[in-house]
Structure 1
């Protein structure tokens, strides 16, 4: 348990504080001089320092206490310090806060206020240390994972993404089908490459097919091949992707777009390891690991009758759910710096402004990682200097996409009586939130995106105001 360090040259004061803190179950350490205090800070688990400002009876300037505060902050910048002195002044209080003191109390002290202050600061110190330990542990775990496995350049910092990556490298050697689900732009193809890179088939072919990019008949020919004359325009033998991937891995992106006929034929390959080319009765054997991906809710598609349940269970022996970028905000800054590093023109030290960083963290990222990279690429192209601003990203500092100027009110359609009342409620919420859309949305019980859609429908524009 963290301890409260009492630093005072008067034995009676030290004893009184020890007794007070002991009554409230706060363990203590005591020091009678600055040098002794610094030694304890360096060697003990100190959570809060309660220090006197004067250690020489002949002086009341507080310079010794100020120097001790500076020395403590050099040793541990995050350690909370409560300064106490019988010689109070506003000037000294301001100076102490600027130097890093967490609080400033006068002697004789108020027992309740002092105890509450120490308890709160100690708890905050515990939380800060725990967060530091978690971050350090996470960094070590990520480094160890990257050292042992080929992560295909996946960049992340969030615990939720670490769980995904850990699952991927764990199941990659198991030669079973993997289904990767998640929103568009979240990096499903990169995860598929990670599975392949860490599998026993890493040195074999890795063939990719987009099931949403071809008509039904052409897609079957793409997957299984076709004999000459199998369909209009088929003038020569076509080798399918299954044959190309023999011994390796086949990645089927947008698997939900495969027709029911195609699904039946794919199911046969997964069950029996054999297929027939279009226009052929010859059965061919194939050894392929299938990795598939989709942004569609396949259980719902099964209920709608557009996807086969038996195929789903064949594909999803292992299912990897990739989170949306908005659900892993810790990854936004590290991804932004990574992309910016690759987009910088040679020799130009581009940086994100504080407003740009705020905009990145506030944005919902409906396009996920792909949108993040595109916005940074846009910023690099339209920037006016080496500092990238939120406007260069096409965002406001509140994270909202920049929109073209709204039509003049005179051209807006007339609002119904209900819409007039709705507009008034939205205007009031925006006014109370000083134009900060996320706060107004929370007050109205809406998401930020929903509020923007409602504002657009009601002919409203937001002008963000500075908080007083």
Structure 2
């Protein structure tokens, strides 16, 4: 797609020269000879960049007209990159406007190479920014639609990866298909199981949960299928199993990879026929149970080692929902942290930066614990990075690529002080300058 630039300058020779320069560089360019004409064109057409003069009245050199025009354009489109065309007399005014968000200033007479370099960088950044803005708007629409149509069980999310997962989960929730939720410990697999049940025909029926990873191998069968009195030493009375308790509803089997082979065989039979016998009994029971299972293990590797039945895996895995680790859903980190905070506490900018850079090996559960501890340790109402108690070594910090919004926001927060802005981002002054140069932010 060809970019389009608007030049606003009362000197028609300037407009002609810039039109030729941009035309031979495959950039569409239009001109306006007055602020009024330029504003009218901006309201009727889409432009990717504006180059504006600082003076329009004959013999005026203060730059006030350019300042007024700049703020009028900003009020109409806060994101549109604006390059100021200045004579040396207006240099101070241009610098002030740079602090207010102008993209660059070019002194007359300009150097074609320098102007083209600035324009191309700004067009590339604006295109990326517009794409990000569109993506965020689409995300908000999809997120709101999901909240309106389904019970999300209080799930807090702001990441595209999580949105995609929840759209799939809510889509399959109404079916009777067996669902396998995979993902690391602490990522929230049980919460996804709750969402599946809440949006299914089983929502008002029993929802029984079993953590197979927390039970000794020799007791898992009795826990699932029940046991009759005297079946083994210590079984002094008969006990109903979880399948019987879940009859007509849903059974959530967490850490299914820990189920021993003999239990796997019985589970496969239940899934196929709905029938089983309690431990120590020959009486067949029949149930109607939807099974949702979860694991943090690689079941394909377990199958290769002979530790998990392949036929059971296929039966459980009619639908697989992969829950990404928290490190793969970075946009969820700060919203979740805010959710875990008490109402009277807040997170400083530095604390939020550190939360986003940390790799979260313990996932959402670790984040909740970190926030809870920080609330206790923080001296005031604002939690600082030091209150989080996170190990900031290279092994536990993710590589975080800062965006132009990160850099400009930090500079705005610290009134253009590069040293303080760099420190707030955890960068050195030189690293900050490199990123400013990369994004075309004037020093």
- The residue aligned with 1:160 is 161
Alignment of 1:395-406 (within 5 A): 395=390
* Deviations 1:316-355 (CA, angstroms, capped at 9, x unpaired): 1111111111111111122112222xx33xxx2x211111
Give the CA deviation at 1:466: 4.7
- The residue aligned with 1:121 is 122
Q: Which of 355, 363, 366 is residue 361 of structure 2 equivalent to?
A: 366
Give the CA deviation at 1:47: 0.9
CA–CA separation in structure 1 for the residues paired with 2:364 and 2:357: 15
- The residue aligned with 1:8 is 9
> Does the aligned pair in 1 maintain the 2:184–2:296 contact within 8 Å?
yes
- The residue aligned with 2:382 is 387
Query: How many residue pairs get matched?
Result: 404
CA–CA separation in structure 1 for the residues paired with 2:128 and 2:427: 33
> Does the aligned pair in 2 maintain the 1:69–1:99 contact within 8 Å?
no
CA–CA separation in structure 2 for the residues paired with 1:234 and 1:396: 48
> Does the aligned pair in 2 maintain the 1:356–1:397 contact within 8 Å?
no
Give the CA deviation at 1:42: 3.0
- The residue aligned with 1:148 is 149
| Structure 2 counterpart SS, 1:330 | helix
> Does the aligned pair in 1 maintain the 2:61–2:89 contact within 8 Å?
no
> Does the aligned pair in 1 maintain the 2:255–2:296 contact within 8 Å?
yes
Highest RCO, 1 vs 2 (Cα 8 Å, sep ≥ 6): 2
Please say which of residues 17-26 and 382-391 is displaced more in the overlay.
17-26
Cα distance change on mapping 1:37 and 1:90 into 2, 3 Å: closer
> Does the aligned pair in 1 maintain the 2:370–2:389 contact within 8 Å?
yes
* Deviations 1:93-125 (CA, angstroms, capped at 9, x unpaired): 422311322111111222232233222212211
| Structure 2 counterpart SS, 1:84 | strand
| Structure 2 counterpart SS, 1:229 | coil
Alignment of 1:99-114 (within 5 A): 99-114=100-115
> Does the aligned pair in 2 maintain the 1:224–1:277 contact within 8 Å?
yes
CA–CA separation in structure 2 for the residues paired with 1:396 and 1:323: 23
Give the CA deviation at 1:307: 1.1
TM-score, length-scaled by structure 1: 0.82
Give the CA deviation at 1:280: 1.0
Please say which of residues 228-237 and 290-299 is displaced more in the overlay.
228-237
- The residue aligned with 2:241 is 240
> Does the aligned pair in 2 maintain the 1:362–1:399 contact within 8 Å?
no
CA–CA separation in structure 2 for the residues paired with 1:2 and 1:14: 17
- The residue aligned with 1:81 is 82
Cα distance change on mapping 1:288 and 1:465 into 2, 3 Å: closer
* Deviations 1:67-106 (CA, angstroms, capped at 9, x unpaired): 2112222222211111112335653442231132211111
Give the CA deviation at 1:467: 3.9
> Does the aligned pair in 1 maintain the 2:225–2:276 contact within 8 Å?
yes
CA–CA separation in structure 2 for the residues paired with 1:211 and 1:2: 59
- The residue aligned with 2:371 is 376
- The residue aligned with 1:136 is 137
Cα distance change on mapping 1:438 and 1:27 into 2, 3 Å: closer
> Does the aligned pair in 2 maintain the 1:359–1:396 contact within 8 Å?
no
| Structure 1 counterpart SS, 2:181 | strand
TM-score, length-scaled by structure 2: 0.87
Alignment of 1:17-96 (within 5 A): 17-88=18-89, 90-96=91-97
CA–CA separation in structure 2 for the residues paired with 1:302 and 1:176: 22
* Deviations 1:168-217 (CA, angstroms, capped at 9, x unpaired): 11111120111111000000000111111111211111100011222233
* Deviations 1:221-248 (CA, angstroms, capped at 9, x unpaired): 1111111111222222211110110011
CA–CA separation in structure 1 for the residues paired with 2:213 and 2:398: 37
> Does the aligned pair in 1 maintain the 2:179–2:316 contact within 8 Å?
yes
Give the CA deviation at 1:161: 1.2
CA–CA separation in structure 1 for the residues paired with 2:148 and 2:358: 32
